[in-house]
Amino acid sequence: MAHQVVTEPQERFAGSNENEAPRTPQGGEISPLINGIIHDAKQLLVQQLTLFEVELKNDLRRSMEASIPLVLGLVVLLVALVSLDATASFLLCWLWPQLPLWAGFGIVTLVMAAGGIALAVGGLQKFQSMTPPAEKTVEGLKENLQWKTKT
């Protein structure tokens, strides 16, 4: 898609010479132009705030939809993990009969805890490296606010 540059015809301005200072349009008033710019800036700001609100609502809705099965799955996995812990502990004691039962449970618990810590640290690092999509909208909004305060 090619971008087209729209320019004002030179006839609309009285004496548009590159060396001269810019003059007002033939109507003699520049305030309608300024009012139009201010109106466009306000409209852009409202549109960006609306976009930010819609993105935030969509992100929240998707997060809620994803969290219900996630929580249910984690509860089921917790029950399975407890069962696996007991099974592995009894298996360890069965394979090594001199090992006391409490030691079998302790060894399996330590191994599972080490795996859980590794998973938690990895997940935390991934979570910290994420940037939410709404951040792009916030950056655009900040740029527009900076531009508005300069004009």
pLDDT digits (tens, 9 = 90+) for 110-139: 999 999 999 999 988 888 887 666 666 677
CA–CA gap between residue 114 and residue 132 (Å, rounded): 30
> Which candidate, 48, 47, 44, 60, places its Cα nearest to that of 132?
60
Per-residue pLDDT, 126: 85
Which helix H or strand E contains 146, and what residues bound it?
helix 134-150
Task: Please compute, for residue 136, the number of CA atoms within 13 A of its CA located in the half-sphere on the CB side.
Answer: 5
Tokens linked to 110: 């330590």
CB 49 within 8 A of CB 138: no
**pLDDT of 83 over the 70 cut:** yes
Say which residues have a Cβ less than 8 Å from residue 72's Cβ, sequence separation at least 6.
none
Q: Which residues pair with 25 in a beta bridge?
A: 13
| Cα 57 versus chain centre, distance | 12
For residue 24, pLDDT over 60 is answered with no
